[in-house]
Amino acid sequence: MSTKELAMETIRDLPENTSWREIEERIHFLAAIEKARDEVRRGEVVPHEDVRNLLGEWLSE
């Protein structure tokens, strides 16, 4: 599904009384998810265990 098709389907599925702000927020949310998926596909992620270790180090300082 293209980006345009996804946006149109998303808007179509919203209630009739949805505000411009809510539409904008929903589209922005979907764009953020797509960006994250692209980052995962490119391997630009930190494994969960590494994050846990880093967090433990930061909290012990």
The domain ranges of the chain are 3-60
The pLDDT assigned to 47 comes to: 93
Dump pLDDT digits (tens) for 15-59. 999 999 999 999 999 999 999 999 999 999 999 999 999 999 999
What pLDDT sits at residue 22?
Answer: 98
Q: What pLDDT sits at residue 61?
A: 77
Flag whether pLDDT at 4 surpasses 90: yes
Residue 27 makes CB contacts below 8 A (sequence gap 6+) with 7, 10, 11
Where is pLDDT greater, at 25 or 60?
25
pLDDT of residue 50: 95
